[in-house]
Amino acid sequence: MIEAGRVTVGGITATLGQTAVLGVDDIAVDGVSITPTQELLYIMLNKPRGYVTTMSDEKGRKVVTELVSDVGGRVYPVGRLDINSKGLLLLTNDGAFANAMMHPRYGKTKVYQVRVRGDVGLALPKLANPMEIDSYTVKAVSVKLLKHTPDGGIVEIAINEGRNRQVRKMCDECNLQVLSLKRIAIGKIKLGNLPPGKWRHLTEKERVES
C-alpha cells in the first residue's frame, strides 16, 4: 500500500522506511484516517530551567512531561527549549497541529526575552542584520532593547527559523553572553502570566488563530 502511494502521514504521501507515531501523526490509507479516536489535547507549559524537552532522558535528567502528568492524556512537546532555557512550550497529541506550529514553511514567529552581558548598543545593529549560523543565513524578524542593565541589557528577539539554539548562537556571534533566555510567544500564542512549572489548556481562539 505504501509503494502504491495509498498511505499518507500528515497529508504527505508516505515512503518505505518512514516512521510515524500512531495517535500523534495523522496516518491515513486511501484518505481515511486510521488514527485512534481520542480526546485532542492542546496545552501550554511555562518550562522552568533544568528540564529537557523530551519524553524521557537516558541521563536521568528531569523531563518536561513530568510537569504535565496530570493533563489526563499523553502529550508530546511541540519543538524544543534547551535545558537552560525557560518559558512557553506547547504540548499536544494532535500531530497536524504540532506540524503546523513547528514546520518552517508555516513561518510561526517565536519571541524571546534574553538577558545578556556585553555591549548591547554595539551588538543590536548586528543582531538585526542577516548572519550565518551553522552554514545557514538567518535574520531576526525584530530586535528590541527592553532595558539596560549594569552589565548589559534585556533584549527581545523574534525569529522565524527556530534552528537549534539559534538565539544563543546569534548572541554569541555578537559577543553577548546569554545570562537567561525565556520564550514568551509562538505565533499568536503568548505565555502571559502563567507561573513557572505550571500548565494550562489553550483556548479555542488560541488554537484557531495560531
Tell me the pLDDT tens digit for each residue of 129-166.
Answer: 999 998 889 999 999 999 999 999 999 999 998 788 99
For the chain, the distance separating the N- and C-terminal CA atoms, rounded to the nearest angstrom, is 34
Give the number of other CB atoms < 10 A from CB of residue 165: 17
Sign of CA dihedral 28, 104, 67, 61: positive
Helix or strand or coil: residue 92? Answer: strand
Mean pLDDT, range 165-185, rounded to an integer: 97
Per-residue pLDDT tens over the stretch 94-131? 888 988 898 777 879 999 999 999 999 999 999 999 99
Classify domain 42-105+189-209 at the CATH topology level: Alpha-Beta Plaits (3.30.70)
For residue 23, the model assigns a pLDDT of 65
- 82 is known as an active-site residue: yes
* Residue where the block lists cell 548572519: 131
Q: Do the domains at 42-105+189-209 and 109-186 have one common CATH topology?
A: yes
Q: Would you state the pLDDT for residue 38?
A: 72
DSSP 34: -
Q: Give the mean pLDDT of 16-41.
A: 80
Check pLDDT > 80 for residue 37: no
The pLDDT of residue 28 is 87
Give per-residue pLDDT as tens, 70-90: 998 889 999 889 999 999 999
Q: Could you count the other beta carbons within 10 Å of the beta carbon of residue 179?
A: 14
Which one is catalytic: 26, 30, 70, 82? 82
Tell how far CA 39 is from the center of its chain: 22
This prediction's pTM? 0.81
Q: Where are the domains of the chain?
A: 1-36, 42-105+189-209, 109-186
Cell matching residue 182: 525565556
Rounded Cα distance between 120 and 145, Å, is: 8
Nearest Cα to Cα of residue 60 among 77, 83, 44: 83
Q: How far apart are CA 157 and CA 140, in angstroms?
A: 7
Please give the class, per CATH, of domain 109-186: alpha beta
- Find, among 47, 111, 58, the residue nearest to 80 by Cα: 47
CA nearest to 192, candidates 172, 174, 208, 206 = 206
Residue 45 CB-density burial (10 A; 0-12 exposed, 13-18 middle, 19+ buried)? buried
